[in-house]
Amino acid sequence: MKGLVLAALIGAGLMGCASEPVQLQQNRSYILEWIGERPLMDYSHLTITLGDDGRAYGNAGCNHWFAPYTLKGDRLSFGKIGSTRKLCSPAVMEQETRFLRALEKVERWDVSPIEQMRFWPAQGKPLRWWLEEG
């Protein structure tokens, strides 16, 4: 009987240690690490914030971007993306174009085993994000 009680207490203690599953958070900024199969250029700072009003926005590397989005469970999609119109170096502009095109193709999201957010297109590799600290 003592063994059964001890096992129950240990089990309850372990359940208390389990953390909540990582979820996609609205009104928090995420920083992009990879676009599909390629990492970002050094010193790039591409971001996304999913507002609770259905509008997403962030920095695309050179320009600020914005778009409506739909989030239902693990389904995620973006409407027509707009951006400011600054001109930067060709490499930065190429990366920005790849990012915005990839964002248009997003269909779902999930969390990787290392707790990184991933935005998946129908085919290919995901956009990979980290929650911005602070």
The DSSP secondary structure of the chain, one letter per residue, reads -HHHHHHHHHHHHHHHHPPPPP---TT-EEEEEEETTEEPPTT---EEEE-TTSEEEEE-SSSEEEEEEEEETTEEEE---EE------HHHHHHHHHHHHHHHTEEEEEE-TTS-EEEEESSSPPEEEEEPP-
CATH class of the domain comprising 28-131:
mainly beta
The pLDDT of residue 21: 62
The pLDDT of residue 43: 87
pTM above 0.75, yes or no: yes
Please report, for the chain, the start and end positions of each structural domain, with discontinuous segments joined by +.
28-131
Each of the 134 residues of the chain gets a pLDDT tens digit; together they read: 555 444 444 444 444 445 566 689 999 999 999 999 999 998 899 999 999 999 999 999 999 999 999 999 999 999 999 999 999 999 999 999 999 999 999 999 999 999 999 999 999 999 999 999 86
The pLDDT of residue 69: 98
The pLDDT of residue 93: 97
The pLDDT of residue 121: 97
- Measured CA to CA, the distance from residue 120 to residue 125 in angstroms comes to 7
Kindly write down the DSSP assignment for every residue of 50-71, as one continuous string.
E-TTSEEEEE-SSSEEEEEEEE
Q: Which tokens is 24 given? A: 């996609």
